């Protein structure tokens, strides 16, 4: 898929990604900041930044931060959040596969469940390393294929348009051997750590409602109802069944997702 593809930006701009992130992965931003050792005086780039889950936390830690994302709606939400927090950082519309920054411009490059969705994994890895200085850090959070995310995206994929020719599955970024191959000899150290986080809702129905109203790809499915009412109705049934089977019994719902924490140091 070519950089700055408007169709991709449109899909991720549907719904309310900021509300979605706040309800799901928001608490992981500080974790990535700590893992990368981000602090005052550092120049940080957060790619596929969404509304600033990591970028805002890096700015709070005293770093000079630029947040880049393909989707204007995400950047707009991030600016609003930054103003509310009294934080100053840059917001740039950009594709991780072709970043508009100079070589070795940043001390740390991060991405939280963002760069993994770029179709060309090799291009994304090369660009993140290119703009990172020698001895600097590239840190990422990605979903693993074995965890709940694998089953979730397996459910959703048949209802979405086919990926572009040659695109690699996003969840490969959660496979350690794939990550090692992507970074190869360009890094002098590579730490890969699996862990989990939980998403909470008052019920499976409430969890489904969050996704169908805020998460762009699923909002796109729901918006096709007038053209394909039976198909969307089938998806709704499958999704609710998935939600009910994927959580423990009881009134509240909890969904445990496995992720991979990647911390790579660029070779001098």
Instruction: Count the Cβ atoms, other than its own, within 10 Å of residue 123.
Output: 16
What pLDDT shows up at residue 7? 61
Tokens read off for 207: 């969890």
Which domains, ranges and CATH numbers included, belong to the chain? 6-197+257-266 (3.40.50.150)
Helix axes of 216-223 and 229-245: crossing angle, nearest 10 degrees: 140
What pLDDT shows up at residue 10? 77
DSSP annotation of 95 reads B
Task: Give the span between the Cα atoms of 126 and 92, in whole angstroms.
Answer: 19
DSSP annotation of 98 reads B
Tokens read off for 16: 């309310």
For residue 48, give every residue at least 6 positions away whose Cβ sits within 8 Å of its Cβ, in sequence order, or none: 68, 69, 70, 96, 111, 114, 115, 117, 118
Task: Give the span between the Cα atoms of 109 and 216, in whole angstroms.
Answer: 25
Tokens read off for 65: 């931060």
DSSP annotation of 162 reads P
Three-class SS state of 255:
strand
Residues facing 263 on adjacent strands: 139, 191
Answer whether 196's CB lies under 8 Å from 257's CB: yes
Residues facing 91 on adjacent strands: 67
pLDDT tens digit at each of 268 positions of the chain: 334 455 666 789 999 999 999 999 999 999 999 999 999 999 999 999 999 999 999 999 999 999 999 999 999 999 999 999 999 999 999 999 999 999 999 999 999 999 999 999 999 999 999 999 999 999 999 999 999 999 999 999 999 999 999 999 999 999 999 999 999 999 999 999 999 999 999 999 999 999 999 999 999 999 999 999 999 999 999 999 999 999 976 568 999 999 999 999 999 9
What pLDDT shows up at residue 3? 41
What pLDDT shows up at residue 250? 59
Tokens read off for 1: 């898929």
What does DSSP say about strands 106-112 and 43-46: parallel, antiparallel, or unpaired?
parallel
DSSP annotation of 116 reads G
What pLDDT shows up at residue 93? 97
Question: Residue 135: phi, psi to the nearest 5?
Answer: 85, -5
């Amino acid at each position: 898929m070519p950089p700055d593809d408007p169709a991709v930006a449109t899909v991720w701009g549907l719904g309310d990604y900021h509300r979605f992130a706040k309800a799901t992965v928001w608490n992981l931003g500080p974790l990535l900041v700590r893992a990368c050792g981000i602090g005052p005086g550092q120049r940080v780039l957060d790619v596929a930044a969404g509304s600033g889950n990591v970028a805002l936390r890096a700015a709070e830690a005293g770093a000079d931060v630029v947040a880049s994302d393909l989707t204007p709606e995400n950047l707009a939400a991030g600016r609003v959040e930054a103003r509310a927090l009294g934080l100053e950082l840059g917001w740039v519309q950009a594709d991780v596969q072709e970043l508009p920054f100079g070589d070795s411009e940043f001390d740390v490059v991060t991405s939280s469940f963002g760069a993994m969705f770029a179709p060309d994994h090799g291009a994304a890895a090369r660009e993140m390393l290119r703009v990172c200085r020698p001895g600097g850090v590239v840190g990422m959070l990605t979903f693993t294929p074995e965890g709940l995310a694998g089953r979730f995206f397996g459910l959703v994929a048949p209802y979405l348009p086919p990926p572009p020719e040659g695109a690699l599955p996003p969840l490969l970024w959660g496979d350690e051997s794939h990550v090692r191959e992507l970074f190869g000899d360009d890094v002098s150290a590579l730490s890969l750590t699996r862990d989990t986080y939980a998403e909470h809702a008052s019920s499976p129905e409430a969890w489904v409602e969050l996704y169908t109203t805020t998460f762009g790809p699923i909002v796109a499915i729901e918006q096709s109802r007038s053209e394909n009412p039976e198909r969307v109705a089938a998806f709704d049934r499958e999704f609710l069944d998935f939600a009910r089977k994927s959580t423990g019994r009881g009134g509240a719902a909890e969904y445990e997702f496995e992720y991979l924490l990647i911390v790579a140091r660029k070779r001098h």
